[in-house]
Homo-oligomer: A and B are copies of this chain.
């Protein structure tokens, strides 16, 4: 475990906000009367599909890249990612003029791989397992001296993702609750730290695909469950939750709501139809969770993080 695998402090999230400000977009918060009505709550959608690179991942990657000392930075950065973090790291590296190596598992969305290449990242393909990703990453690291920027188990990355909460709580004052998706847990952990620093009473929720529900199982078991084999259309949420990320979910009393893929795909259509936002399927887990656990949110003001919008329009999940 690296020295960076600790949760960020609220101060580190504020530092991250200052560090990424010249590069990242302050994304808008959108509303929909139709969706409010369906859920029975006041929903404030934080549109990270409109973030640079089309996903929130740019925040964490950018914070990591600009946290490096000049000497480290010169040797580049490396990561493994099913897409959005890799793309984000390539874009962030480009803002500093350094090289990004991205290890991508087979089966990743082609549009995301194209975006990484366009951003100037170097792609390294591997088998779609956690072990293969990590082995290939270590190899590139050994060969180039590049700094590993882990997609979620990295203090700098979690701090960067947490900046979402700083913006959201300012843009939508008086929130009762905030919900994000959970995969590896970088977003959920960063948001938990930042949200509770500003608003200790805000209730935190995470939406997880039922076919990759290791976070829910881990919280239930009181220990990190690692024998879950992901089976979900949510390509951005297949990673196992990290150790410190899981600690954050527990410490901040984040309630995990598991949703079936069919519920998520239906919610994705709703977001496209009613909010007019192109969001990827992983992003839609949050609306699926809001609809499924409607009673928990009744009459409340809920911040809803829409994580990304990098979609292959020729392979929409409701087609054939």
Across the interface, A49 reaches (CB within 8 A) one of B52, B276, B311, namely: B276
24 contacts between A and B (CB under 8 A): A28-B28, A28-B30, A30-B50, A33-B52, A49-B276, A50-B276, A54-B276, A111-B273, A269-B313, A272-B278, A272-B311, A272-B313, A273-B278, A273-B311, A273-B313, A276-B277, A276-B278, A276-B279, A276-B309, A277-B277, A278-B278, A313-B316, A313-B318, A314-B318
CB distance from A88 to the nearest CB of B (A): 14
Number of interface residues of A (CB under 8 A): 23
Q: Report A141 CB to chain B, min CB distance, Å.
A: 30
The distance in angstroms between the C-alpha atoms of A279 and B276, with both chains bound, is: 7
0 or 1 for each of A1-38: is its CB under 8 Å from B? (1 = yes): 00000000000000000000000000010100100000
Where the two chains meet, the residues of A that have a C-beta atom closer than 8 Å to any C-beta of B are: 28, 30, 33, 47, 49-50, 52, 54, 111, 269, 272-273, 276-279, 309, 311, 313-314, 316, 318-319
A30 to B277, CA, bound (A): 12
- Quickly give the copy total for this chain: 2
Determine the distance from Cα of A300 to Cα of B26 in the docked complex, in whole angstroms.
24
Given the complex of chains A and B, what is the CA–CA distance between A277 and B30 in angstroms?
Answer: 12
